[in-house]
Amino acid sequence: MIKAILIFNNHGKPRLSKFYEHYTEDTEQQIIRETFHLVSKRDENVCNFLEGGLLIGGSDNKLIYRHYATLYFVFCVDSSESELGILDLIQVFVETLDKCFENVCELDLIFHMDKVHNILAEMVMGGMVLETNMSEIITQAEAQSKMEKSEAGIAGAPARAVSAVKNMNLPEMPKNINIGDISIKVPNLPSFK
Amino acid sequence: MALKIVKGSIDRMFDKNLQDLVRGIRNHKEDEAKYISTCIDEIKQELKQDNIAVKANAVCKLTYLQMLGYDVSWAAFNIVEVMSSSKFTYKRIGYLAASQCFHEGTDVIMLTTNQIRKDLSSPNQYDTGVALTGLSCFVTPDLARDLANDIMTLMSHTKPYIRKKAVLIMYKVFLKYPESLRPAFPRLKEKLEDPDPGVQSAAVNVICELARRNPKNYLSLAPLFFKLMTSSTNNWVLIKIIKLFGALTPLEPRLGKKLIEPLTNLIHSTSAMSLLYECVNTVIAVLISLSSGMPNHSASIQLCVQKLRILIEDSDQNLKYLGLLAMSKILKTHPKSVQSHKDLILQCLDDKDESIRLRALDLLYGMVSKKNLMEIVKKLMLHVDKAEGTTYRDELLTKIIDICSQSNYQYITNFEWYISILVELTRLEGTRHGHLIASQMLDVAIRVKAIRAFAVAQMATLLDNAHLLTGNTQRNGICEVLYAAAWICGEFAEHLEDPMLTLEAMLRPKVATLPGHIQAVYVQNAAKLFATVLQKHEGETDSQAAQETSQLLIDRLPLFVQSANLEVQERASCILQLVKYIQKLQQKNVEVAEEVTALFAGELNPVAPKAQKKVPIPEGLDLDAWINEPPSESESEDEKPKAVFAKEEPKHSRSRHTEVDEKELARRREARKQEQANNPFYIKASPSSQKVYDAPGVEHIPVVQIDLSVPLKVPGMPMSDQYVKLEEERRQKEKADKKKKEKKKKREKRGKGRKGDSGPESEEDITPAHHVDIVTEEMPENALPSDDDDKDPNDPHKALDIDLDKPLADSEKLPVRTHRPEVLKSPAEDRDDNTIPQETKKKSSKDKKEKKKDKEKDRKRSKEDKKKKKKHKDVEEELPESLPEEVVQSEETKEVAVPPTSADASDLDFWLSSAPVPPVAQVVTVSSSAAAATVDSSSAAAAESEPEELKDTEPDDTKSSKHKKKKQKKEKEEKEKKKKKRHHHHHHHHSDAGAEDSVQNGTVEDEEPLPPMSNYSLLAENSYIKMMKEDADQVCDIQGNHQDESKVVVSVIFENKSDSFLKSMEFNVLDSLNSKLQRPDGAGPHDGLTVPFQLPPGVSNEARFVFSVQSIVMPQKLKGTLTFIVKTDESSTHEKLDFKLHFTCTSYLITTPCYSDAYAKLLESGDLKGSSLRLEGVNMPFHHLLARICFHHHFSVVERIDSCASMYSRSIQGHHVCLLVKSSDQTVSIDAKCDEPSLLGNVLDEIKQTFSKC
């Protein structure tokens, strides 16, 4: 079982948090902080597994994380999950985000948290891995956004226009923190499908 | 009106959406909290509007704020509103918000039930999907109960997208509503073979998750998973299955054997590291489960260790980490294989990655032996010095202590070394683990008596140098060791060389800065030291020294009397007054030493931590009951207990009466011992430690003379190193001595045994430096061994420990809403009736027959009309209860034959018993069968017959009616089939018998055990040897040349009955045209085979011989000879023994499981020729009869209905043999069919013989 999926940036700011067990908001923040603290002090070229999260679960649990450019993707899992399998799953997740957002960057995640949630929902459900096939995930996610667009229809047009205008006068929209560009290499892992 | 809408939408344009909110927060970095609180106010306004779009937007923003840690539960109702929007866009927003912040305590959740149900049945698959996803996060017991049935229906949805989600969410439903597990399980199982890989994967996922917690209930699925494992190409699924097998093997060692080969293949073939790793892991689990000595698996262990070494050596840190992790699992059972990689693991200790270092440390824990402990600890000590972070250093410290103290200091040969290590560890700056070191010191000093002198000396030094430890501040955790040091010096003061010096050290003013509890110990032990000093100087004419000591105490103690710590103050003032009194006596030249010493007489024994808890409550003792009448009100409460204990007190308390003389003391000691012996409540020393305590007094404790040539401190070199060197020298010397002795011994007793002493010195060779008796901790005499203290009673998975093979009872149906009239129409109702639990079925059989017919007709009709049937199926699928029968029915339409529930247990047995390696049990019993021959065979048989026993349990009487019915049904069906020649699967009997089997499988004992049976028959016997043979039904085909030549394996047990040694046994048979003994290449056709072992007196062993057989239709006899040499002390003689090997036709049959559908097909094919047999006067229960046939003649029960059973077996050349066995009044009729009539005839003859024998 996956207990939680967290995305935060290099400064520990949460970009997405999905807990598959209930915690109060305060505990959740504490878990994020603790996890960030544990993960961020690790070197780049050490292993991606980490034991000893005190707050989430017991000794059975492990943190499995990957660090992409400015973002940490952390999965907290118990012993029923395969460590390398989850690492691959994170990779699939990031690649899927990359496809759905077209060169995903931290800003995409910041401004479209809901969309990230929706994509994640196609991969992991209630803490269990639902789908690992990237094209299937993308197909389903796109079918749903298409539906969303068709529902918005004409009524949605003005809102979209306004939103576009708002975005236009955004000088702070740097696209430079591009995860897609930074080569996401899976160390020595033959493709896992 | 229109204007209003336009206005609304224009308003909306300028509402903040999620992006605006995020942007706003980013622009207000300084006053984020303030900005967000205004935003929340805005959101509250938006939520008040009627426009659902506005609400959804607000809820979306709330979801974001929730992530930032803001409590949004106040908006729960609005979230429900948005969830129930008809637009997918808003619905999804609502469900997302709900999944993020709803939980079991959210009260509005109960409002959602109907909405969710509506969404689940929505025609839009994404509505359903979103609802399922949301529900998976916030499902409550109520929701689970109310929606379980709807979700179960979705498990058979046409769209795989919905199916997989529905399957996955079932796990959550089971957790919240365990009652749903049994009704839903058949369908879940069915999904394991779903055509869509995603659905299949989801089902595997759920079952693995379930089975991980309660593996024994899922053992019966093993064959199915095995099939999946060998056929699936999806690595996710494979990993899950392999992990599941890892959880199942400990319960069923036979499964492990079956797994080894395919897993090994996967290990060799896969390129995916993740899969490789999991395979290795499961192989390890298998090996652990088989660890009871299967030497031939050393290849697998080697393979695993090898692969892991590759992982550990990899540059990828992840693989390194996992390699170490898996290695630690092997370590537990096969430490030797891991120990050879010590170099690699020590290397990992230097890794820059802390995770890896910690893993390596874990491994070290198991790798130590007596031989290398010192070396490893030395290495760790170096790391302690180098370690930069305190956490890692502390970890190292605890590991060192763990390693040394594991299993009762098993690996420590030199406790002086260990004490010095502990002392060295005290030099660590700023460690948190002072108390750990302290408790080790205490433990060792108390439990290893021989080391006390040395320990006391070391502790005295520590006390003397206390200022080094306490150095800077009090928060330094290391000062805890002073606690131990002070206590040890005080308690074992008789070993102190200069107690006066130590006493002085303990009373230094600086001590007052130590924590209170340590000071208290100081004060108390100062008094003990004082007593020792007094005793030492007793009898000396000059009482100067003693008086000086008293003066010292009187001078120093007032400091402690002023202590703020209550304990310290109290003790100090008591002792101060005592010392003052003693001083007075001293001045009068009164001898006081003995009385003062008596204050601290007696020894404290170590008591196990759980000892008190484990004292069993004697029968009839009610701890809550009043011992006497409840006290009357006038009586004061505290007087009562005093009265109870008053009598015993003087005896138990340490005597303070100074006038008691030695005799009196001895007498009392005797009396006390007597009393203790008779007192059931007194915790006695365990027998092992008893002898230690038998020594009458403290003064007789064996004290080891320490070689004083060893200086206690070597300048410039850590002390422990010195001991390492000394120890090495000692060992070498010992080794040399031993060799000498060994040689002598060899010369004296040549050829006594084969146990050589070649190779490096083994564990046992290292003897401890001096005799150390580790006093075991005391436990009450009849303590209960159960250790269930650590189980968590609140584990939600406990509720899911449900037997899944039992048929469903009516009461277990999932609750369904009642307004679905079409569901409960005739076929369902009919079926319902038929499967009502047997207990309630007491109607007349005629009645039932008619009903059966009805049902039969019904089914016929449904078959004839496909469309109609389809409809039926749909109805069935909507049926809530999903009784096993239905499942079987719905399977009818599928191409793949799913092994039905009922046969599972026996299937499992067949499946497992066909493993290429014989069951462990058998091997064990055979090799241990040195006892009397008869016992031997029966015990071997008991082990062998286990699988058969499991298959046939006595059915309950209540079941009989059902069986009868089934029988009729089956017969009818058979007729039908013949007439119409139509594909017709009949039901498997999913009787209780089947269900019970799985429970019993290997774990639970059979209620009515079968008489022991053996396939071992006496082959030949003389005064020297006895041969028992069994035709093993293990057969291997020769390169597909299956039709003309096959192999039969014959197992022969050789038992040495004489008092002499038997060797050079040669086994030979005279080949016939038809059957030949398989000889190694190059051997002539008349050469014998050497039996690969020798037999010491009274020992038996088993050898296997392979014969190739061409025609199997006739029984055959082969003449053979066994030649061997009998070796006695004086002489050796050649002996031989002739025997006749009888190959029955039965021995050509292989137990092969057969599903009833395949069986029916076979019968209906018409290729088989029939024959029959009648047995009269068979006086045994039917299930024994079946078991006998199964066991002796290698049949398997296909189906059993009451006293009628169909059985199946296959010959090694592929002939099918089918039996229909009926029994009534001691008469058994067997109708048999086979495609080879002469084979059949012979088999029947043999069956007849079997029963005529008993």
The pLDDT value recorded for residue B746 is 53
Ranges in chain A, pLDDT < 70: 52-58, 153-193
**Tokens for B281?**
């892991």
- Evaluate whether residue A109 is within a structural domain: yes
For a pLDDT cut of 70, what percent of chain B falls above it? 65
B786 min Cα distance to partner chain A (Å): 24
- Whether B1237 shows a pLDDT value over 80: the answer reads yes
Q: Please state the rounded mean pLDDT for residues B128-137.
A: 93
**Using CA atoms, how far apart are residues B8 and B855, in angstroms rounded to an integer?**
63
8 Å CB contact between B1143 and B1043: no
**Tokens for A113?**
């948290």
- Cβ separation A48–B202 shorter than 8 A: no
B701-727 b/e (C-beta count within 10 Å ≥ 16 → b): bebbeeeeeeeeeeeeebbbbbbbebb
**Using CA atoms, how far apart are residues B928 and B920, in angstroms rounded to an integer?**
12
Q: Is the dihedral of CA A48, A54, A55, A58 positive or negative?
A: positive
Residue-wise pLDDT for B1195-1214, tens only, equals 888 888 778 888 888 887 77
Residue-wise pLDDT for B395-427, tens only, equals 888 888 888 888 778 888 888 888 888 888 887
* Cβ pairs bridging A and B (under 8 Å): 177
DSSP per-residue string spanning B873-905? HHHHHH-SS--HHHHHHHHHT-SS-PPPTTTHH
**CB contact A128 to B (< 8 Å):** yes
Per DSSP, A178 falls in state: B
Residues 6+ apart with CB under 8 A from A115: A100, A101, A145
Residue with the two structure tokens 């690969």: B1092
Print the domain residue range for A104: 2-149
Instruction: Look up the CATH number of the domain holding residue A132.
Output: 3.30.450.60
Q: Identify from A19, A125, A144 which residue to disrupt to test chain B contact, counting B C-beta atoms within 10 A and taking the largest count.
A: A125
Q: Please state the rounded mean pLDDT for residues B1027-1042.
A: 45
Q: Of the candidates A78, A132, A27, A39, which has an alpha carbon nearest to the alpha carbon of residue B208?
A: A78
Residue-wise pLDDT for B722-769, tens only, equals 777 777 777 777 666 666 665 555 555 554 444 444 444 444 445 555
Cα atoms in the 13 Å half-sphere on the side-chain side of B66: 26
- Evaluate whether residue A80 is within a structural domain: yes
Cα B1004 versus chain centre, distance:
17
A74 min Cα distance to partner chain B (Å): 15
Among B43-52, B209-218, B1221-1230, the least confident range? B1221-1230
Q: Choose between B287 and B1030: higher pLDDT.
A: B287
**Using CA atoms, how far apart are residues B10 and B442, in angstroms rounded to an integer?**
80
Among B97-106, B519-528, B659-668, the least confident range? B659-668
Q: Of the candidates B179, B178, B233, B236, which has an alpha carbon nearest to the alpha carbon of residue B203?
A: B236
- Evaluate whether residue A184 is within a structural domain: no
Closest residue in A to B91 (Cα) is A148
**Using CA atoms, how far apart are residues B686 and B683, in angstroms rounded to an integer?**
9
Considering CB atoms only, which of A24, A130, A152 is closest to B164?
A130
Residue with the two structure tokens 């120093």: B556
B20 min Cα distance to partner chain A (Å): 8
Q: Please state the rounded mean pLDDT for residues B695-704.
A: 44
Q: Please state the rounded mean pLDDT for residues B1156-1179.
A: 78
- Read off the amino acid at residue B306: Q
8 Å CB contact between B862 and B827: yes
Tell me which H or E stretch contains B122: none
Characterise B751 by phi-psi region: left (phi > 0), alpha (psi -120 to 50), beta (else).
left
DSSP per-residue string spanning B843-878? S-HHHHHHHHHHHHHHHHHHHH-HHHHHHHHHHHHH
**Using CA atoms, how far apart are residues B622 and B604, in angstroms rounded to an integer?**
30
- Evaluate whether residue A49 is within a structural domain: yes
Q: Identify from A11, A16, A47, A117 which residue to disrupt to test chain B contact, counting B C-beta atoms within 10 A and taking the largest count.
A: A47
3-state secondary structure of B1025: strand
- Whether B1123 shows a pLDDT value over 50: the answer reads yes
ipTM of the modeled complex: 0.89
**Using CA atoms, how far apart are residues B354 and A38, in angstroms rounded to an integer?**
12
Among A20-34, A75-89, B682-696, B1048-1062, the least confident range? B682-696
Q: Identify from A75, A84, A112 which residue to disrupt to test chain B contact, counting B C-beta atoms within 10 A and taking the largest count.
A: A84
The pLDDT value recorded for residue B533 is 85
Closest residue in A to B89 (Cα) is A148
- Evaluate whether residue A163 is within a structural domain: no
B954 min Cα distance to partner chain A (Å): 39
Closest residue in B to A155 (Cα) is B9
**CB contact A188 to B (< 8 Å):** yes
Provide, as residue numbers in chain A, all residues whose Cβ is less than 8 Å from the Cβ of B277: 82-84
8 Å CB contact between B1250 and B1193: yes
The pLDDT value recorded for residue B829 is 41
Q: Binning pLDDT at 50, 70 and 90, where does residue B900 land?
A: very low
Rounded to 10 deg, the angle between the B415-425 and B452-464 helix axes is 20
Provide, as residue numbers in chain A, all residues whose Cβ is less than 8 Å from the Cβ of B315: 188
Q: Of the candidates B260, B752, B159, which has an alpha carbon nearest to the alpha carbon of residue A136?
A: B159
Q: Binning pLDDT at 50, 70 and 90, where does residue B1159 land?
A: confident
The pLDDT value recorded for residue B445 is 87
Which residues pair with residue B1224 across a beta bridge? B1227
Per DSSP, B123 falls in state: S
Provide, as residue numbers in chain B, all residues whose Cβ is less than 8 Å from the Cβ of A31: none
- Evaluate whether residue A169 is within a structural domain: no
- Cβ separation B133–A192 shorter than 8 A: no
Q: How many Cβ atoms sit within 10 Å of the Cβ of residue B117? A: 18
8 Å CB contact between B46 and B93: no
**Using CA atoms, how far apart are residues B289 and B204, in angstroms rounded to an integer?**
23
Q: Please state the rounded mean pLDDT for residues B781-786.
A: 54
Number of folded domains in chain A? 1
**Tokens for A8?**
């935060």
Residues 6+ apart with CB under 8 A from B1055: B929, B930, B933, B936, B1025, B1026, B1027, B1028, B1095, B1099, B1100
Radius of gyration for chain B, computed over Cα atoms and rounded to the nearest angstrom: 40
**Using CA atoms, how far apart are residues B54 and A114, in angstroms rounded to an integer?**
16
B68 min Cα distance to partner chain A (Å): 7
For a pLDDT cut of 90, what percent of chain B falls above it? 10
- Whether B1003 shows a pLDDT value over 50: the answer reads no
Range among B63-67, B360-364, B1180-1184 rated most confident: B63-67
Q: Please give the mean pLDDT across all residues of chain B.
A: 72
Closest residue in A to B199 (Cα) is A130
Which residues pair with residue B1137 across a beta bridge? B1122
**CB contact A40 to B (< 8 Å):** no
Q: Of the candidates B379, B393, B478, which has an alpha carbon nearest to the alpha carbon of residue B436?
A: B478
Cα B782 versus chain centre, distance:
26
Q: Identify from A128, A132, A133, A144 which residue to disrupt to test chain B contact, counting B C-beta atoms within 10 A and taking the largest count.
A: A128
Tell me which H or E stretch contains B442: helix B434-447
Residues 6+ apart with CB under 8 A from B1175: B1227, B1228, B1229, B1230, B1248, B1251
- Whether B133 shows a pLDDT value over 90: the answer reads yes
- Evaluate whether residue A154 is within a structural domain: no
- Cβ separation A159–B136 shorter than 8 A: no
Per DSSP, B766 falls in state: -
The pLDDT value recorded for residue B762 is 45
3-state secondary structure of B1101: strand
- Cβ separation A113–B63 shorter than 8 A: yes
Length of chain A: 193
Residues 6+ apart with CB under 8 A from B302: B337
Provide, as residue numbers in chain B, all residues whose Cβ is less than 8 Å from the Cβ of A49: 318, 321-322, 355
- Evaluate whether residue A87 is within a structural domain: yes
**Using CA atoms, how far apart are residues B571 and B562, in angstroms rounded to an integer?**
11
8 Å CB contact between B1196 and B1239: no
